[in-house]
Each structure stands twice: as structure tokens, then as C-alpha cells.
């Protein structure tokens, strides 16, 4: 099957047959399709779109380009969650142990941060000794014995996606809903899940800035996942302000431990986390009603059992056995810690979340290139949420920096990201809507 004929067909707005899509993915994987041919097909799809059946075929072919995990020997349902990314989004660190406490198994294969959004794997790497990329035997052992494991993607899961994304990234075709859909879902299907819940974020800190674009992506993901045989629902959540009061790596881990132990819980973060947990428990068949699912998730958190599961997971993957109790002594700390004081009084009416994320990257807490080395200690904490009544001189946030010059830059970025006004703003709900196959 000639690559140029497949490109021509999609260029001319004709749907591709499953065997044509399979041939394309095989060429992606073995290199028999040139970079130019892959780029041309990516642009044709970007411009002309894909029908649902095409996106399903692409997702399944990319799934089958590498290893597909099998969890059929687990004594309970296997489920996971995927977030489209945001600022201060450390939900996975609490969500996996909460759902595992309730009897599901959560093999959470996560990614690293790129751009202004943080990566779950980078957060876990802030924990000394934690093996974020264990071998398959240890991964399976921890999932079975603890109930969850948060690790990184291995090279043999959906390898076609890695090459395709790299080419899309340099040819201006990343922002294609069918291609984003296939990229996300091929890896989740390769993980061998029995159900999936998606957290699709909308707002100024999300890749999908508008509710309309986020809804389009969520509907595509749900339709294609179910079409590929993976029961999936989605929650659209608000990312017009950082979700947690911390943005960074070690600082978000500390925030997660405080959340799990009850030392401190950001209100919006708690609402989103428990909503996603309830959705996962419903999808996994652990709960039969939403009320029951909410109760199970809430009890797992309030009883301290989820914190215990998190601690056991960290220890089983090589981290300190007493990490939950003594996380302050283990997590790296930045040498410069500086409050960002407001120059005026007023209510916080808006936060440019993406700018907060970019400030963390500039501190060294994120990447502009995949090979960049992360500084796990830096970040921003105590981020005042929208609606906070600020007096002149009060702290809008606290900067954690490697040096004074970096702290100066981050302080200026925080000031620029915050808008203060005279009236208390309307407070949007953090969970916007639920999207299921029929919605």
C-alpha cells in the first residue's frame, strides 16, 4: 500500500479504511513511512478531520504498535484516570490511593510535564528513591499488593504515538482533536484498563481554553474510547485558576500529602478529586449509585486509609517507608523562599493560570525541551484563590527559587498574573459537566 496514496485519499477528504490506517501505523512504527509522508498525512487529518470509525481504527492500530498489558489476573476491577493537564493539578497523587482503598486496582501510567503544565511523573521523581519507571514485574507486584502504582510510560507502550507526536510537534499539527484523541487513548488502551475516566480541563491554564473546545475534545475521547471497547466517561473541570494552592514538583507532593492526611485541603482540589474518584468507582462497578460512590471515596479519605495506601505505594517503589509522616525531611527545598506581597487591597478576581505555570518552568520546575533537567525543589505555594479578600501587604503567593534573580522574575510573574478588583467575583464550580457516551 503506497504511502502517498493514503495521503492523497485523506487530502481529498475521503475516509481512510481500517487497513489503510493500519498500514500507516505500521509505517510509523518501522520507519518505512518517511517523516515527510507522516507530516503530510498529519496535516491532511488536521485540515480535514476524521470520522469516529477512523479515529477508533487509528487508536487501536497505535495501541497494537507495542506491548498491551493484561490485568485479567487481578482480583478486582482495573481502572484509571487521565487529565488533559493544567496548573497545580496534582489530583493523581490523591486519586489513585483513594480509589485503590475502595477495592479497585489503579495502574496509573503517567507522563512528564512539557510546556506550562506539570507532569505527574516529575512530581513523583521529587521523592528520594522512588522508582518512577520500574520493571514490569515490580509494577505488577505493587499494583496487586498495594492497589495502585503511579509510574511512567515505557517505550514499548504505543511506540507509534511517540514518533507521530514528535513529527506533529514540529509541523504545526498538534491541535487536532482526532489526533489528540488517538494519542491519549492508544496509551490508555495499551495499559490494559477495564474502565477509564477523563478529566478534560477548560480555561486559561488548560490546553483547551474554551468550554466549547474542551467539550469537543471530551466528546471525541468518550466516543472513540467506547468505540474501541473501553468504557469511558469524562468530567469537564475548570482551569481558570490553579487547582491546588501549589505549583511545582516537591511542593505539589507536599500539598498532596497534606491533603491525604487532612492537614490542609484546598477546597476546589477536594471537590474535583472526590468527583473523579466517585466517577471511577462507578465506572469500575465498585459503587452502583453516585451517592454511594461519593460516600466510599469520602470515607477512604477521611479515615486516613488513602494516606496509608499512598505511603505503602511510595515505600514499595523504593521511597522512604515513613515518607507520609516525615515528608518535610525528604523532599528537596529551595534555598530562596519569598512571599509575594500585594501592592494594593481588593478581591482576587482573576488569575492567569498559564502564566503561573510558565513562571514555574522559568524557575526550573518544568521543561521547554524534553531533555531539560527538572529542579524539583522550586515552585510557587500559598497561591491565593479567586475570591480571596487581599489587604495591601498580604501575600498573593510564596515563591520557592534557586537564587534571588529567579525569585525576582517569579515574583514579577505572580504580580502580573493576579487581577484584584473591588467586588467579590462570582465563584464558578470546579466541575463543569459530565460527559458520557449518550451526552
The DSSP bridge partners found for residue 340 are 397
Whether 323 and 330 have beta carbons less than 8 Å apart is answered as: yes
In whole angstroms, give the CA distance from residue 185 to residue 131: 25
Whether 226 and 181 have beta carbons less than 8 Å apart is answered as: no
In whole angstroms, give the CA distance from residue 129 to residue 282: 34
Residues taking part in catalysis = 80-83, 120, 168, 183, 187-188
Taking alpha carbons only, the member of 144, 147, 181 closest to residue 161 is 181
Amino acid at each position: 500500500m503506497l504511502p502517498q496514496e493514503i495521503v492523497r485519499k485523506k487530502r481529498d477528504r475521503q475516509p481512510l479504511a481500517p487497513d489503510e490506517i493500519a498500514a500507516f501505523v505500521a509505517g510509523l512504527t518501522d520507519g518505512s513511512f518517511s517523516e515527510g509522508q507522516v507530516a503530510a498525512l498529519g496535516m491532511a487529518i488536521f485540515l480535514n478531520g476524521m470520522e469516529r470509525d477512523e479515529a477508533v481504527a487509528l487508536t487501536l492500530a497505535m495501541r497494537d504498535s507495542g506491548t498491551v498489558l493484561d490485568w485479567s489476573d487481578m482480583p478486582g476491577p482495573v481502572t484509571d484516570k487521565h487529565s488533559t493537564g493544567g496548573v497545580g493539578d496534582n489530583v493523581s497523587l490523591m486519586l489513585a490511593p483513594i480509589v485503590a482503598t475502595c477495592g479497585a486496582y489503579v495502574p496509573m501510567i503517567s507522563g512528564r510535564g512539557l510546556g506550562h503544565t506539570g507532569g505527574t511523573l516529575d512530581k513523583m521523581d521529587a521523592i528520594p528513591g522512588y522508582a518512577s519507571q520500574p520493571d514490569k514485574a515490580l509494577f505488577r507486584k505493587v499494583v496487586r499488593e498495594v492497589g495502585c502504582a503511579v509510574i511512567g510510560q515505557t517505550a514499548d507502550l504505543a511506540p507509534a504515538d511517540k514518533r507521530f507526536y514528535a513529527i506533529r510537534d514540529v509541523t504545526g499539527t498538534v491541535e487536532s482533536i482526532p489526533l489528540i484523541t488517538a494519542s491519549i487513548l492508544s496509551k490508555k488502551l495499551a495499559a490494559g484498563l477495564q474502565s477509564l475516566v477523563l478529566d478534560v480541563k477548560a480555561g486559561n491554564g488548560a490546553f483547551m481554553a474554551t468550554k466549547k473546545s474542551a467539550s469537543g475534545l471530551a466528546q471525541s475521547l468518550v466516543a472513540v474510547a467506547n468505540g474501541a471497547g473501553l468504557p469511558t466517561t469524562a468530567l469537564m473541570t475548570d482551569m481558570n485558576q490553579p487547582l491546588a494552592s501549589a505549583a511545582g514538583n516537591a511542593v505539589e507532593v507536599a500539598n498532596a500529602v497534606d491533603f491525604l492526611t487532612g492537614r490542609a485541603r484546598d477546597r476546589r482540589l477536594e471537590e474535583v478529586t472526590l468527583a473523579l474518584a466517585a466517577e471511577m468507582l462507578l465506572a469500575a462497578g465498585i459503587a452502583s449509585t453516585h451517592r454511594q460512590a461519593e460516600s466510599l471515596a469520602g470515607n477512604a479519605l477521611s479515615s486516613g486509609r488513602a494516606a496509608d495506601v499512598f505511603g505503602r505505594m511510595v515505600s514499595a517503589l523504593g521511597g522512604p517507608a515513613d515518607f507520609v509522616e516525615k515528608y518535610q525531611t525528604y523532599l528537596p527545598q529551595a534555598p530562596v523562599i519569598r512571599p509575594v506581597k500585594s501592592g494594593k487591597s481588593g478581591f482576587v478576581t482573576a488569575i492567569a493560570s498559564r502564566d503561573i505555570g510558565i513562571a514555574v518552568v522559568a524557575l526550573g520546575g518544568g521543561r521547554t525541551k524534553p531533555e531539560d533537567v527538572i529542579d524539583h525543589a522550586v515552585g510557587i505555594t500559598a497561591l491565593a484563590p479567586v475570591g480571596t479578600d487581599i489587604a495591601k501587604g498580604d501575600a498573593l503567593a510564596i515563591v520557592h527559587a534557586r537564587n534571588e534573580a529567579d525569585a525576582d522574575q517569579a515574583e514579577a510573574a505572580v504580580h502580573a498574573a493576579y487581577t484584584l478588583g473591588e467586588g467579590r467575583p462570582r465563584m464558578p464550580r470546579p466541575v463543569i459537566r459530565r460527559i458520557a457516551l449518550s451526552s
